[in-house]
Structure 1
Amino acid sequence: MAENALMHDRLLPRLLQDLELTPHMLTYGDGTTGSNSLKSAMSAFLTSSRGPSLILAKHFFLASRIFAPLSRHLVAECMSIQQPRFRFGEVDPFGPAAVSKYEEALLEARKSGQKVVGLILCNPHNSLGRCYPRETIIGLMKLCQKYQIHLVSGEIYALSVWGPGEPFYSCLSVETMGIIDPSLVHIVWGTSEGFGASGLRVGAVVSQHNPDLHAAICFSSIHSSAASIAEASVANILRNVPWVDAYIEENHLRLSKHFSLVMKWARSKEVPVAPGSNAAFFVWVALGRAYQVHHAEVTAEYTCTLLSEALSRQTVVLAAGEQFGAEQQAWFRLVNSLSLQDLDEGLQRSSLVLES
């Protein structure tokens, strides 16, 4: 599972601090689209970090699963998913030139009879740990405007940009005038990754200029509403700005340290690593290539299958690249946000698999 366990020692005491339970929390509260208290706290937090446009409480839908509110209204038709689902060949999937690849895929889908209603990005990216340049985001906005489709930006890793390189740009930080109808732009965000709290199951959809979408989601939101106590816990955290700032900084330090540990291990085992990662908690590693060095009898066609089985026997679970539509064989997604003990043990067991 892709989750961040590095900050549990800091987060748990804070969650238990100053949490006052009330009878109101045992009801449907302020409605099925989320509590007013958390909407207010999130609007202040995201406005300060996304800018320049003001994000108001009325722009939010809160849910236990961040894509649930949209899935019944947009994803139910046909949404284009970003790299590595598409084939980009030699084109950098994060560069401006990649926009033409999205357009090719969109036109091909329409040609086959599919109705494409939107494009979903994950920025920063799961599983490559990279951020989309501002120029690319604007290019994708113009593409969505051209074909009148929605742009949904999944920004759940936005607080996990731990290293130098391409900075994170939110879709909400772009002045849309002359680029895209703002009613087509939406983001999703939650506490699961940036705060290392996937068990709280509190997420949000932010849509600033689409009242029709708001009305549609309100009608069906009872099926995905978040728990009142979880909402209260998150609101308490977000209102304490100095604590949040210190928490995010420490999270960055720990993520950077664990990434460095994985890179050191990869170099020692001559495992190729995809360049450019500076966000989230993934390392895109070509384990299959290192495996073939010690298992010359294994053909490329079967490397991923045999390697996955061998890792499983060591109780090591890595997501194979083919699960993400990787264009090249033998790549795996390694999650480095485990405890130091678990990460070290996992790397040692992976070494045994590669070399045995």
Structure 2
Amino acid sequence: MEESNAAALSTFSQRGQGAVESGSKFMIWDIISDMWHPQTNPSGILSVGMAENTLLHDFLLEFIHANVKLTAAHLTYNNGPTGSNALKGALSHFLNRHFNPFRQVEPAHVLVTNGCSSAIEHLSWTFLNPGEGMLLGMPYYSTFIPDIALRPGAVVVPVKMGDLDPLSPEAVQAYEDAAAEFEAKTGKRVRGVMLCNPHNPLSRCYPRDTVTALMKLCQSRKMHLISDEIYALSVWENRVDGPDSHVPFESLLSRDTTGLIDPQLVHVVWGMSKDFGANGLRVGAVITQSSPEFHIAQRCLSLYSYVSAMSDQTTAAILSNDEFTDAYIAKNRELLSVSHAFIVNELKKSGIEYLPGCHAAFFIWINLGKRYLERHPEAAGLGELTDVVYQRLLAEKVFLAHGISFGAEKPGWFRVVFAHPIPWLEEAMARIVRAIE
């Protein structure tokens, strides 16, 4: 069998062989194929690891069933692969209402893609040569790495934070140091900074002073600043830790860049997956307001990220309806606040450390390694702590995001997604506690 596999691989490109190796370690699609459901698959794997928001699926589906009407145009190429005129118009209308842009977003500023991973890949492919670097602060959303690097051939440069708050203005020096070190070692340029604001997995918003400092850094090095704002409208009241230190969300679109950064270097990403709990629609967008050349380049590239006409029309119908979107956003914020309070109280009951102060997106960063060693001191030194706990979680058929793959600088940390109904979270917590107790 091994000889047969080797023979097959010998016909693959180096890229293909690398993908086989990476794919063999990529468990998430196996987990998706055996997802827990209390009635239809009670023995399946319960996920609080994937960044999905299931809180308002019924509410969204009711609107879709009542309002989405397909026409013959949706069976054609319609207005081309960068998004229909209707969708670009609806997106620009929606962003102008909710993102407080300094300069009004126009349909011509919008590139529509089949999800935000494709949007980020387009940016990486267009702006970075193979081997050039993109700065990414730790911890980070793990899928940024293949988005930036897998097919474009760019290099992600992780920015270690040590004891710094990764979202603080003081952390900007770490970005500059990482860029200088990469360029000195490789002789290649660093071409950009990748942000996720609100942050995944820390579930907080970047302070204005931090973003200002990053804009100045990018200007000084002629680097692109990409702000993934896919959780922009999932900002909610923290009813457990209090709101005193919470930084409000401020879109990069809302900033006057005069004297800070060339606007051609500024790009924002947003999509339907998180704020509207619709990962399956596969609709994302790049908003680039001052680089018409970027949009010209996408005329050939976007053939490979063409959004289905059904998803295009569905999204246009949703985003052009102000009454519905206002109601959805308000309901979503309320339910996220309730679910967050529930999961934090459960963590406290179980003596599990968590990082307090989150108020955006739908994650809690928790330290299962510490609690596991408290219960099992004999496990010290048995192996990489995060892996030991991860295997115990899988044995209990509960999936959490592995902290090391998210750039955690200390072992034992995991990301929990709480954007699910309370019964889902109850079952998840029961399995997590069994795994570590």
1:340 counterpart letter in structure 2: I
**Shift in Å at residue 81 of structure 1?**
1.4
- Residues 98-157 of structure 1 show CA distances to partners (whole Å, capped at 9, x for unaligned) of 110110011111111232111110000111101101111111011000000100100000
Q: Identify unmatched segments of 5+ residues in structure 1.
A: none
1:19 counterpart letter in structure 2: V
For 1:71 and 1:338, locate their aligned partners in 2 and report how far apart those are by CA, in whole Å: 32
1:238 counterpart letter in structure 2: L
Give the alignment of 1:175-194 within 5 angstroms.
175-194=256-275
User: Residue 189 of structure 1 aligns to a residue in which SS?
Assistant: strand
1:126 counterpart letter in structure 2: N
Residue 127 of structure 2 corresponds to 74
Do the aligned partners of 1:82 and 1:122 also contact (CA within 8 Å) in 2?
no
**Shift in Å at residue 286 of structure 1?**
0.4
Residue 246 of structure 1 corresponds to 327
Do the aligned partners of 2:137 and 2:160 also contact (CA within 8 Å) in 1?
no
**Shift in Å at residue 19 of structure 1?**
1.4
For 1:246 and 1:52, locate their aligned partners in 2 and report how far apart those are by CA, in whole Å: 25
Residue 345 of structure 1 corresponds to 427
Aligned residue pairs: how many?
355
- Residues 325-354 of structure 1 show CA distances to partners (whole Å, capped at 9, x for unaligned) of 111111100111123222110101111112
Kindly indicate whether residue 112 of structure 2 is the aligned counterpart of residue 39 of structure 1.
no
Residue 206 of structure 1 corresponds to 287
Residue 232 of structure 2 corresponds to 158
For 1:244 and 1:65, locate their aligned partners in 2 and report how far apart those are by CA, in whole Å: 20
- Residues 206-244 of structure 1 show CA distances to partners (whole Å, capped at 9, x for unaligned) of 000012211111221111011111111111111111211
Give the alignment of 1:1-356 within 5 angstroms.
1-50=50-99, 51-68=101-118, 69-74=122-127, 77-84=132-139, 85-113=158-186, 114-163=188-237, 164=243, 165-299=246-380, 301-355=383-437
For 2:88 and 2:76, locate their aligned partners in 1 and report how far apart those are by CA, in whole Å: 17
1:274 counterpart letter in structure 2: L
User: Residue 130 of structure 1 aligns to a residue in which SS?
Assistant: coil
Do the aligned partners of 2:137 and 2:161 also contact (CA within 8 Å) in 1?
no
For 2:182 and 2:384, locate their aligned partners in 1 and report how far apart those are by CA, in whole Å: 30
For 1:186 and 1:121, locate their aligned partners in 2 and report how far apart those are by CA, in whole Å: 10
Aligned identity (percent) is: 41
**Shift in Å at residue 188 of structure 1?**
0.5
1:341 counterpart letter in structure 2: P
RMSD over aligned Cα atoms: 1.2
**Shift in Å at residue 67 of structure 1?**
3.8
User: Residue 347 of structure 2 aligns to a residue in which SS?
Assistant: helix
**Shift in Å at residue 181 of structure 1?**
0.1
1:73 counterpart letter in structure 2: T
TM-score (normalizing by structure 1) = 0.97
Do the aligned partners of 1:70 and 1:217 also contact (CA within 8 Å) in 2?
no
For 1:71 and 1:198, locate their aligned partners in 2 and report how far apart those are by CA, in whole Å: 22
**Shift in Å at residue 71 of structure 1?**
3.5
Do the aligned partners of 2:167 and 2:210 also contact (CA within 8 Å) in 1?
yes
For 1:78 and 1:34, locate their aligned partners in 2 and report how far apart those are by CA, in whole Å: 29
Do the aligned partners of 1:67 and 1:205 also contact (CA within 8 Å) in 2?
no
For 1:172 and 1:138, locate their aligned partners in 2 and report how far apart those are by CA, in whole Å: 13
Residue 39 of structure 2 corresponds to none
Do the aligned partners of 2:82 and 2:302 also contact (CA within 8 Å) in 1?
yes
TM-score (normalizing by structure 2) = 0.79
User: Residue 398 of structure 2 aligns to a residue in which SS?
Assistant: coil
- Residues 245-273 of structure 1 show CA distances to partners (whole Å, capped at 9, x for unaligned) of 11111101111111111110111111111
